[in-house]
Amino acid sequence: MNRHRTLETLVKETLETEPSPAEREAAWQSIIARLSDGEASDAAPNLGLVRRHPRLPHPAVVGVAVGAVVLAALALLPANQTPRGPLPTPHEPRAPLPTGSSAEAAAVLNATASSTRSALPAVGPGEYLFTRISMTLRGEGAANSVTRSWSAIDGSALIVERFASTRPCPPGRRAARCWRFDTSTTRYRASSDVGELRTEDGREMPVRPEPFSTWRAVVSGEQIVRLPAERDTLLASLRAGAGRAAAEHRKRPDPHRNLGGRDMRLLRIKLYGHDLLVVDTVTRMLVDAPLNPDQRAAMLSLLADAPDWYRPGSGAEPLQIRNLGPTKDALGRDGTAVQVGGADLVLDVDAGRLLEIRAYEHGRDAQPITLTVEAQRVVDSTTGESRRRHA
Amino acid sequence: MAWPQTSERGERARTDAQLLVDGTSGLRILYERHFDALFRYAAGRVGRQAAEDVVAETFVIAFSRPAAFDPSHTSALPWLVGIATNLLRSQRRAERKHLATDPYLIDLSGPPDLGLEDTISRADAAAVRGAVMRAVRRLPPSERDAFLVHALAGLDGAELGVALGVSASAAAVRLHRARTKLRTTLEPTLRRLGGGLI
């Protein structure tokens, strides 16, 4: 022991432990899961993931997750950011098309709009739109949640989500090992916009739709049948809804302030304007709202026109849409990717369907959060997803 | 330079204060910047298993209260270390247990910096580790905080004060006291083993 060291070196040599990449990743996953759960506080701020109604210690309803994710990506990325290198899809690496392909993007969206009329029939009285969505965080290949939803045109809905998350561990167990699966059920009744949520352990609580959480914050369940299919009136109606939702949200007591934080939803609306909420709502409705074929087509056309009507807020850039060309979704289905702001929509143009949303939460060169619409059809009961409608 | 050219995904340009309110992608970058230092600090105090939870909890708290960060500070690390230190206060037992680990059983991950090949020097090294852990364990909590934040997280001066929640001069006093005590306790052992402190 012929060494002279400083006290600090000596202590470092004795005590210091280098983190491993696995520990770094496991800790991040646990942070994400806990912030998404609102576990630490209501402030769970700019986490675009699975943000729900405050104080709900249960996993997200994907209806909620969908838009939150999309929004985060929209809000975070500069609209004109170009992908560097191949798109980070595990399926088919591909060089990006040159910029300026927004006309192509509009063409793809409009083509999907015209074929979407025959994609799904309108949901009739007593029927439901059934949707199964899987969500993968950070593209690890394993679904972090699977959500089944049944939505009726009178505004009633049943949403069942199975969600995997990390939880505080019993002593002696590695945090990364403490995965837990929760199933939650949210029910919306025809007359009310407040959902009733029931967790796996039997707790029940109300879920008030919030901006950037679910389309229901902007378009109430009862309004959905009256939603116009004509572009300008549809846009006006959605803008009015977005304004209402923002005002409503502003009126509520702000739990974030008590904790010294800030409400990122309000901040986003302030920075990015109401139209970000409109785009978010449109994208979210395309995933699981019981739209009739005309309404669905109008929604897609609205996205195609977005660069024309989108008014960015004080802190944002214009919305950009770009055609990214052919791709495959997580289930291996062929589709065409269109970038709308910070998220990519994978569309089956011929079938007129939205297959997948890839939200680039961590920037374009990181793995996206992927929401895959695995199945969607009109059914006549919520008891079995396999009972098809034979109209 | 307003929004400087991109290096490392263009993120180096953003300050910690900006990243903190810049959505999940910002938080991720902030996390990448400070995770290693924070983990080394926490793992040095309570061992790696407990450290993972402490570090995760630290970031959950920090991300939930971005307004608690003083944006005039360049680095968020002192603030994060301060949160971790508060959390570690409730982990005194874990820390004592960690410091009481049998020094002969400690598995030093990474290259054995002590460069010891034979059994004797291994035993010497273990003796030094044992002495260091005992000495650190005997420090009063506030001085132990000061010294370990300094040694393991590399914070000094005003940043040390931020992490400990006291003024820079109070932090310096605590650090000085801790170093004096450690030096007094450790010098004889080190000298006996043919080493010493600079």
Beta bridge partner(s), residue B153:
none
Q: Which residues of A27-39 are buried (b: 16+ CB within 10 A; e: fewer)?
A: bbbbbbbbbbbbb
Q: Which of residues 78-107 of B touch A (CB under 8 A)?
A: none
Instruction: Indicate the angle between helix axes B48-64 and A21-36, nearest 10 degrees.
Output: 40
Contact A26 B52 (CB under 8 A): yes
From the list B22, B40, B147, the residue facing A18 with the nearest CB is B40
Q: Where are the alpha helices (DSSP H) in B139-197?
A: 141-153, 157-164, 168-192
Interface of A with B in 301-360 (CB under 8 A): none
Does residue A357 carry a pLDDT above 80? yes
| Distance (Å, whole) CA B177 – CA B171 | 10
Kindly report the pTM of this predicted structure.
Answer: 0.51
Which of A41, A261, A363 comes nearest B9 by C-beta? A363
Q: Nearest chain B residue to A361 by CA: give it.
A: B25
Position B164 scores a pLDDT of 93
Tokens of A133: 């969505």
Nearest residue to B36 (alpha-carbon basis) of A14, A26, A8, A18: A18
Residue B89 confidence class, pLDDT cut points 50, 70, 90:
confident
| CB-CB under 8 Å, A72 with B24 | yes
Closest-CA residue of B relative to A44 is: B64
Q: Report how far residue A87's alpha carbon sits from residue A338's, in angstroms, rounded to the nearest whole number.
A: 12
Q: Which class for A177: exposed (0-12), middle (13-18), buried (19 or more C-beta within 10 A)?
A: exposed
What residues in B contact A137, CB-CB < 8 Å? none
Per-residue pLDDT of A313-331, as tens digits, reads: 765 677 889 999 899 998 8
Q: In this complex, which of B51, B60, B114 lies closest to A13 when CB atoms are compared? A: B114
Q: Which residues pair with A326 in a beta bridge?
A: A336
Mean pLDDT of chain A: 73
On chain B, the residues whose CB falls within 8 A of the CB of A363 are 9, 25
Q: Does B26 touch chain A (CB under 8 A)?
A: yes
Note which residues in 42-71 of chain B have CB less than 8 A from chain A.
43-45, 47-49, 51-53, 55-57, 59-61, 63-68
Give the pLDDT of residue B120: 57
In chain A, residues with a C-beta closer than 8 Å to the C-beta of B132 are 10-11, 14-15
A140 pLDDT higher than 70: no
Instruction: Name chain A contacts of B51, Cβ cutoff 8 Å.
Output: 17
A360 pLDDT above the threshold of 80: no
Strand-pairing partners, residue A337, are A325, A346
Q: Is A1 on the interface with B (CB under 8 A)?
A: yes
DSSP code string of A63-98: HHHHHHHHHHHHHHS-TTPPPPSS---SS---PPPP
Reported ipTM: 0.79
Task: Give the minimum alpha-carbon distance from B178 to chain A in angstroms, rounded to a whole number.
Answer: 10
* Nearest chain A Cα distance for residue B151, angstroms: 5
Give Cα A66 distance to the centre of its chain: 2
Question: A72-129, pLDDT tens digit by residue?
Answer: 333 333 333 333 333 333 333 334 444 447 888 999 999 999 999 888 999 988 889 9
Q: pLDDT tier at A388 (50, 70, 90 boundaries)?
A: very low
Q: CB contact, 8 Å: A16 with chain B?
A: yes
Q: Report the distance separating Cα B2 and Cα B6, nearest Å.
A: 12
Give me the residues paired with residue A377 across strands: A130
Q: Round to whole Å and give the CA distance between A153 and A163.
A: 26
Give me the pLDDT at residue A81, please.
35
Which chain A residues in 101-130 lie under 8 Å from chain B, judged by CB atoms? none
pLDDT exceeds cutoff 80 at A54? no
Q: Are A121 and A130 in contact (CB under 8 A)?
A: no
Least confident of A29-43, A113-127, B176-190: A29-43
Q: Which residues, 6+ apart, have CB-to-CB distance to A281 below 8 Å?
A: A67, A215, A217, A218, A219, A238, A241, A242
Closest by CA position to A99, among listed A293, A320, A360, A273 = A320
Residue B145 has pLDDT above 90, yes or no: yes
Question: In angstroms, what CA-CA distances link A95 with A48, A72, A81, A82, A180?
Answer: 28, 25, 15, 11, 38
| Cα B31 from chain centroid (whole Å) | 16
Identify the DSSP state of B76: S
Q: Flag if B125 and A1 touch (Cβ within 8 Å).
A: yes
The closest CB to that of B195, out of A3, A40, A260, belongs to: A3
Nearest to B193 among A1, A15, A261 (CB): A1
Best B64, B70, B152 member to test A by mutation, with max A CBs in 10 Å, is: B64
Report DSSP letters for A212-247, one per residue.
TT-GGGTS-TTTGGG---SHHHHHHHHHHHHHHHHH
**E strands of A125-168, at which residues?**
128-136, 145-151, 157-166
Token duo for residue A111: 């083509």
What does R_g of chain A's alpha carbons equal in angstroms? 22
Q: Which of A2, A3, A258 would best serve as a mutation to test chain B binding (most B beta carbons within 10 A)?
A: A3
